[in-house]
Structure 1
Amino acid sequence: MENKSCFHCGDDCGNHPITFQEKSFCCNGCKTVFEIFNKNDLTCYYDLQKSPGAIPKEIEGKYDFLSQGNIIEKLTEFRSDDLEIATLYIPHIHCSSCIWILENLNKLNPHISDSQVNFGKKTVRVSYNPKATDLKSVVTLLSGIGYEPYISLDDFKAGKQHINRTLIYKLGVAGFAFGNIMFLSFPEYFEINEYWLEQYKHMFRWLMFALSIPVVFYAAQDYFISAYKGLKAKLLNIDVPIALGISVLFIRSTIEISFDIGSGFFDSLSGLVFFLLAGKFFQQKTYDFLSFERDYKSYFPIAITKIEKDGSENAIQVYDIKKGDRLLIRNEELIPVDGILINGRGKIDYSFVTGESQPVTKQSGDKLFAGGKQTSGIIELEAIKSVEQSYLTQLWSNDVFSKNKEDGFTNITNNISKHFTIAIITIAVIATTYWLFTDASKAMNVFTAVLIIACPCAIALSAPFTFGNLLRIFGKLKFYVKNASVIEQLAHINTVIFDKTGTITSNQQSNAEYEGISLSDSESLVLKNSLRGSNHPLSRTLYNILDEHNIITLDCFEEHIGKGIEAKHDDINLKVGSASFVGNVEQTSTLNTTVHVSSNNVYKGKFTFYNSYRKGVSKLFNQLKKHFDLVILSGDNEGERENLKKLLPAKTKLIFDQKPDDKLEFIRYHQSEGAKVLMIGDGLNDAGALAQSNVGIAISEDVNVFSPACDAILDASKFKQLYRYIMASKSAINIIKWSFVLSFVYNVIGLYFAVTGQLAPVVAAILMPLSSISIVIFTTVCTNIIGRKLK
């Protein structure tokens, strides 16, 4: 009996093959992979090559270097006992089918917990369990299913230096063919009937046919592949009508020269592909420019505390961190750079990196990764590399943190263009049918011209270029927005909610007075070091006011969000926070914010704060009241009510004594009533409220304490500009709508000439990229005008 080969990997199935749908498999693993592809209409994967699931001979042993610890260290962005994360550059990502396969790697390898594709950057971020699999296995798996990662050993980075020149080559081939075909077509264009034309015209036509072959089967192959994959995945993408038009032109032209009916449309065909690729090249270059601006120039306005050699503490910008710097990380503060824990007890929350909150305990000498958040007191670490700012952008922009907010939110492009392709194909078929009965010679021209002229590229480009350019402009003005979707949702808000302390008040200008039993030197020392570990606005203010003390390591530190701090050193157990938290039974009403202190359960006294509101608060609220419902949602007592009534518009709701959970529930209730909520907070106590809101903005005042919960970070110095940023977002929506109008007008005019047979396909091919370019120019100019007004 002849042994059969596995349908998936090509290995010998042995004497007992597993049979499924009349196909043989060597193991249940290969059968499972086939079932996944078959269930999702992705069996076209097997058309790529025979037994594509096999490890190609040329890559056997190719990735052995990925077993070396020093190389794995360079390629992974996060490592722990149970989890490793690596981002790999995969040049072959090109359609929705690719995304589906790569985001379901866990079905091919159960030890891969998650995989996320960034289609624009052609990367996949893979999370896996290093105890059960490794980076080499992941890369080998990707190569085995036709998605070999590009890994540069020059700098141990995945695809950072790889430049894909394929589009340039295809553009060159199409341009060369277009020029020569046009040259060969001149005699027939001018209807030269000399003897030499009659003698050579057949040769010229077959030369044009030969030149068109690489145009169709090489230069235009991406359109066919994308259309085919889209249809297999039951998606009618914008490449379907383009591929259909190219096919019709080529087949019709080949038939004409084969039967000596005419010279065909090879000039239109090559011109169509050339101008399509030229438009695509222009779009890619422009988008790459915007991405560059976004990734490397939009630095977060955050600072970190550096411990100098003399023991003094100075705040520096995170991108000024150098290898070897000693950094102070407070409670709830983000670790901006990989480092070694030097002092303190680390309890690190890596939800920023992994998407799951699972605090990890670390001891002195352990390595800490950028993106972790310290959750139990103060620690010191030594930086082992400088900050790569784009890495923080990548972490903050992780899709894990944006999925919930985008559920049920339909963006403007999908809303308008979802039926576009079906409508255009319908028009093309009706117009072609009409001309077949009226003038059959024009039918193919009409069909092709309609499909080309009505390509929805302009509609598809409007939103990305408008929002992309506005993201860049906002970044330069110190308003750092996570992604384009945030701008679109910001334009739809109707309710604005503010936290008070640290949001509309300035930490740097507030002062406090102490009233009560004097603290002993030991108690003052513990108090100062307790406040040193907290990032709460009141803690930071009080810390800066109190006298300098020696630095000590606390035996115990715990921050109760919304309540206060509890710390212990030797025989002193100190509580700092609200009256109820520290145990002050005799609460007295006060018109100011207060922080109470108790030592060993004995009430000592209170610090009374005199708030200093940010400049421009009153003007900002008066601007906002014309368009939005305004709310102050504060965790403090009602002491500031009268001051706020004088400062803010009459219709502003003032709600006090709100715990973090209360704020979240307040927002959730109003959302159920139809409110689109913008929440502005300090990023610490307000994390839940920021996450629940439609858009959450964290105010940053030289503090490294933002979280994945916020959708944008606003530098405190630009607080008074908030109204203008919101209105700029609304203007962006109007720009997109106007660009849709321009595209619609262009399509209507173009379709009229195409349907009536007055528009040649090559002219349509020239007009299509020109329309895309005009939309890009229009949106860029308009957003730049908005930017100048913001400045």
Structure 2
Amino acid sequence: MSITKCFHCGDDCSTTKIYHDDKLFCCNGCKTVFEIFSENDLTCYYDLEKNPGATPIDINGKYDYLDKSDIVEKLIDFQEDSTEIVTLYIPHIHCSSCIWVLENLHKLNTQVISSQVDFPKKKVSITYKTDEFSLRQLVELMSRIGYEPYISLENYGQAPKSIDRSLVYKIGIAGFAFGNVMFLSFPEYFEVSEYWLEQYKPVFRWLMFFFSLPVVFYAGRDYFKSAIKGLKSGILNIDIPIALGITVLFVRSTVDIVFNLGSGFFDSLTGLVFFLLLGKIVQQKTYKFMSFERDYKSYFPIAVTKINAEGKEENTQVYDIERGDRLLIRNRELLPVDGILMSASAEIDYSFVTGEAKLVTKVSGDKVYAGGKQRGNAVEIIAEKSVEQSYLTQLWSNDVFQKDYNPKFQSLIDKISKKFTIAVLSIAFSGLLFWLFYDASLALNVFTAVLIIACPCAIALATPFAMGNLLRIFGKNGFYLKNTNVLEQMADLDVFVFDKTGTLTTNKKSDISYSGLTLSEEDKMVLKNSFRNSNHPLSRELYSFLSSQNIQDSETFEEHLGEGIISSYNDHTYRLGSAKFVANHVDDSTLATAVHVSKDENYLGKFKFETIYRKGVESLFQSLDTHYKLIILSGDNEGEKPVLTKMLPKTTQMFFNQKPDSKMRLIEKIQSENKHVAMVGDGLNDAGALKQADIGIAISENVNVFSPACDAIMDASEFYKLDRYVEITKKGIQIIKFGFIFSFLYNVVGLYFALTGQLQPVIAAILMPLSSISIVIFTTLATQYISKPILNK
């Protein structure tokens, strides 16, 4: 059977079909957006991409807080007279149609002057007039056409971060100097002895000297700072021989031209700094996109509805909430503080905090915790604490978040830098002593030549270019790593710990089955329409699951929150919901989620919701089991244990009913056995475990909107490839080691010429850039070569 799709958003229209202008829509919202575009001559939006839109949401009252001037002032970028400029993050931007319609907002409202989209960052900068328009109206306009901005407390009250372009400037200066110095050095390379060279040789040499000054004292100063810090800390890092090499190159070259001994090594000096800085910017660009250190400000709303002493509703900033305040929490709004429920009942979704998808039913007088989302009718709560004191924020109060927690990990560069530095200095001083006794006139020349040629430029470049390219490849495939150290640590893991719900399982769909008496067409029609009237998540799933196409309202409809639904049709009464609500005698000992059905007090059956595991979970665990210890830590009950036992390797350990702190303690215990642990989770309850682990990997359905503090963020659709990424990192380490070997061979050749007193400027000029360029090309091509077949297998 062919699936009909919505003309606007592309969703399946098999359950709801709305026709307009010979086109099919899944809901009135999508139809309305089409009408808006039609009225404003923007229908070519659909010519750019097929089904480019998103289903708009109901936003009534959601953005009322944007009418408060003190909040708006903190969000906008510029305000002068009647003109404002604001930059908004739009998660739904995904294609050329999105860019086109967002840059044509002025056609939808004449108060919008201009809008410009930054596609990679999914942001749009909008300039608008405030005479008869406001930020709230702008946000509501964008939400109505399916481009709802994401506004959180993280955007509020913060000055825009200045962009550090110093590294770009340094690369520009080093590259400019390198090119000019190489050009000025060509006559010396080929020993041109014509009159013009002899006449202008001093000019050329002093020009090279002046070109090198900004390279040494500006572009390369970070290496000197790092070297000094390392020496003060008693650590011989890789920047020490680099800084020493730069110093010797500059001093030796300056002496050469001052005393007319030669042209020096300014070409090698400027080339060295230029290539080192290139490697540094490659690293920065690859993991600059993601934000890994997040806190509650990233997810909390800016304002909430407060009921004042007169009973009137008003918007208030979350930071202004005090103990005893009455707050109104609407459907799908986040509870910003801990409080006491005043309404008769509430359905709270704590998946944001716990990672578990089940709704929690609360009745009047119960305590509710910050981080939960209200589902259904609006409820009132009495605040017990301020935002900073609530349960949600306490998850970041743990010591592991307050300190710069970093496992005792040494990168490959750290491991070899000390030995390399000692070896280079030993060889240099040994050569100095030898030539002092053999031929003192060459002693200083040999000493400086060794330090110049043995500068670890190739070694320093191998890691950033190999790891930087892997970070780029991983990010392109939906796996975003915090830095290159994470890649190296992935190759050194012993244990993988997984959360269950939301990590191994998907929250996007459920497998529904019905067991019991056969339902008539009338029964299906009544049930479908009963579920249609309910906002409960299970009701929405069952509404889509039932096949009846008849739209017929029930004669009566009552929804008992947390219990079920009572509806009647043709003198028949139906009860839908929990086993206790539908029929007390039904055995509900099973741990599975189910919706029971009865008709005129006669039990008909139940709809059972089976957990859907992510694609490739079984094969992933089988692959990892050959090299790693596997553990499952779940905050859920043991209802899925039989399924997991059958699905996963027998060696997999499982722990259920785990609290956030117990997960963290268990990982800490494993680490005490000198094991390197990777934690893979999704919910905020995994935040402590993710931070405690050597590597914390957050699984997210939307990598731009939510992830706890972690070392890596993985798109949920890429979860089944986790073992492949680990395999690639191991091969990446091998490539770096090969790069070290090549660098060592270069140094051996160069040291031969240096120790024998034969090092000429032309040899240094060839060997040093050649080693740098060849390492960059080798590591980049090799990492690309190994990654493609592994990811595509």
- TM-score bracket, shorter-length normalisation: 0.5 to 0.7
* Matching residue's letter, 2:248: G
Query: Which residue number corresponds to residue 240 of structure 1?
Result: 243
- How many Å apart are 1:784 and its aligned residue? 0.8
SS at match of 2:654: strand
- How many Å apart are 1:578 and its aligned residue? 14
Query: Which residue number corresponds to residue 483 of structure 1?
Result: 483
Q: Partners in 2 of 1:342 and 1:69 — Cα distance?
A: 14
Question: TM-score, normalised on structure 1?
Answer: 0.54
Q: Partners in 1 of 2:668 and 2:586 — Cα distance?
A: 31
Q: Partners in 1 of 2:169 and 2:542 — Cα distance?
A: 58
Contact 1:346 1:376 in 2 (8 A): no
Q: Deviations over 1:423-478 (max 9, x none)?
A: 32332222123223323343343223211211112222222222221121112222
SS at match of 2:627: coil
Q: Report 1:321-720 matches (<5 A).
A: 335=299, 375-378=371-374, 404-507=404-507, 508-511=509-512, 590=589, 592-594=591-593, 609-701=609-701, 706-720=706-720
Distance 1:649 1:165, change over 3 A: closer
Q: Report 1:750-765 matches (<5 A).
A: 750-765=750-765
Q: Partners in 1 of 2:617 and 2:624 — Cα distance?
A: 11
Distance 1:528 1:707, change over 3 A: farther
Distance 1:462 1:439, change over 3 A: same
Q: Partners in 2 of 1:589 and 1:379 — Cα distance?
A: 24
Contact 2:282 2:468 in 1 (8 A): no
Q: Partners in 2 of 1:703 and 1:589 — Cα distance?
A: 38
Residue of 211, 217, 222 corresponding to 1:221:
217
- How many Å apart are 1:620 and its aligned residue? 1.8
SS at match of 2:751: helix
Q: Partners in 2 of 1:506 and 1:700 — Cα distance?
A: 10
Q: Partners in 1 of 2:594 and 2:638 — Cα distance?
A: 14
Residue of 259, 267, 273 corresponding to 2:269:
273
Bigger CA drift: 226-235 or 652-661? 226-235
Q: Partners in 1 of 2:711 and 2:469 — Cα distance?
A: 18
Distance 1:440 1:171, change over 3 A: farther
- How many Å apart are 1:627 and its aligned residue? 0.6
Contact 2:496 2:677 in 1 (8 A): yes
Query: Which residue number corresponds to residue 158 of structure 1?
Result: 162
SS at match of 1:699: strand
Q: Deviations over 1:601-620 (max 9, x none)?
A: xxxx9996422333322222
Q: Partners in 1 of 2:579 and 2:665 — Cα distance?
A: 21
Q: Deviations over 1:386-414 (max 9, x none)?
A: xxxxxxxxxx9xxx969655231222211
- How many Å apart are 1:543 and its aligned residue? 10
Q: Deviations over 1:63-114 (max 9, x none)?
A: xxxxx999986679xxxxxxxxxxxxxxxxxxxxxxxxxxxxxxxxxxxxxx
Q: Partners in 2 of 1:737 and 1:473 — Cα distance?
A: 20
Q: Deviations over 1:508-536 (max 9, x none)?
A: 13337799xxxxx9xx99x966x66xxxx
SS at match of 2:708: coil
Contact 2:435 2:442 in 1 (8 A): yes
Contact 2:479 2:714 in 1 (8 A): yes
Contact 1:700 1:713 in 2 (8 A): yes
- How many Å apart are 1:758 and its aligned residue? 2.6
Question: TM-score, normalised on structure 2?
Answer: 0.54
SS at match of 1:480: strand
Distance 1:723 1:238, change over 3 A: same
Q: Partners in 2 of 1:683 and 1:753 — Cα distance?
A: 60
- How many Å apart are 1:264 and its aligned residue? 0.6
1:249 aligns with 2:247: no
Query: Which residue number corresponds to residue 785 of structure 2?
Result: 785
Query: Which residue number corresponds to residue 63 of structure 1?
Result: none
Q: Deviations over 1:155-188 (max 9, x none)?
A: 98734788954654555456545644664797xx
1:264 aligns with 2:267: no
Q: Partners in 2 of 1:487 and 1:364 — Cα distance?
A: 43
Q: Deviations over 1:658-713 (max 9, x none)?
A: 33333333222222223322222232443333233222223333597733333323
Q: Partners in 1 of 2:243 and 2:164 — Cα distance?
A: 32
- How many Å apart are 1:190 and its aligned residue? 7.2
SS at match of 1:645: helix
Q: Partners in 2 of 1:250 and 1:74 — Cα distance?
A: 54
Bigger CA drift: 751-760 or 657-666? 657-666
- How many Å apart are 1:251 and its aligned residue? 5.4
* Matching residue's letter, 1:461: L
* Matching residue's letter, 1:264: L
Distance 1:510 1:497, change over 3 A: farther
- How many Å apart are 1:486 and its aligned residue? 2.1
Contact 1:177 1:270 in 2 (8 A): yes
Distance 1:628 1:342, change over 3 A: same
Contact 1:279 1:770 in 2 (8 A): no
Identity %: 39
Q: Partners in 2 of 1:623 and 1:348 — Cα distance?
A: 50
Q: Which runs of 5+ in 2 are unaligned?
A: 1-69, 79-158, 307-312, 337-351, 354-369, 377-395, 517-526, 554-560, 564-576, 597-604
Contact 2:633 2:658 in 1 (8 A): yes
1:732 aligns with 2:732: yes
Contact 1:346 1:363 in 2 (8 A): no
Q: Deviations over 1:344-401 (max 9, x none)?
A: 9999999xxxxxxx9x9999999x99xx997253599xxxxxxxxxxxxxxx9xxx96
Distance 1:208 1:504, change over 3 A: closer
Contact 1:503 1:680 in 2 (8 A): yes
Q: Which runs of 5+ in 1 are unaligned?
A: 1-67, 77-154, 258-262, 301-330, 351-357, 381-395, 516-520, 533-537, 550-556, 558-564, 567-575, 598-604
* Matching residue's letter, 2:726: I
Query: Which residue number corresponds to residue 558 of structure 2?
Result: none
Q: Partners in 2 of 1:512 and 1:345 — Cα distance?
A: 45
Q: Partners in 1 of 2:220 and 2:280 — Cα distance?
A: 23
- How many Å apart are 1:643 and its aligned residue? 2.8
SS at match of 2:373: coil
Q: Report 1:9-20 matches (<5 A).
A: none
Contact 2:189 2:762 in 1 (8 A): no
* Matching residue's letter, 1:459: I
* Matching residue's letter, 1:721: K
Q: Partners in 2 of 1:471 and 1:595 — Cα distance?
A: 43
Q: Partners in 2 of 1:416 and 1:749 — Cα distance?
A: 20
- How many Å apart are 1:781 and its aligned residue? 1.2
- How many Å apart are 1:422 and its aligned residue? 3.9
Q: Partners in 2 of 1:692 and 1:543 — Cα distance?
A: 42
Q: Partners in 2 of 1:345 and 1:731 — Cα distance?
A: 59
* Matching residue's letter, 2:678: L
Q: Partners in 1 of 2:495 and 2:414 — Cα distance?
A: 25
Q: Partners in 1 of 2:178 and 2:638 — Cα distance?
A: 72
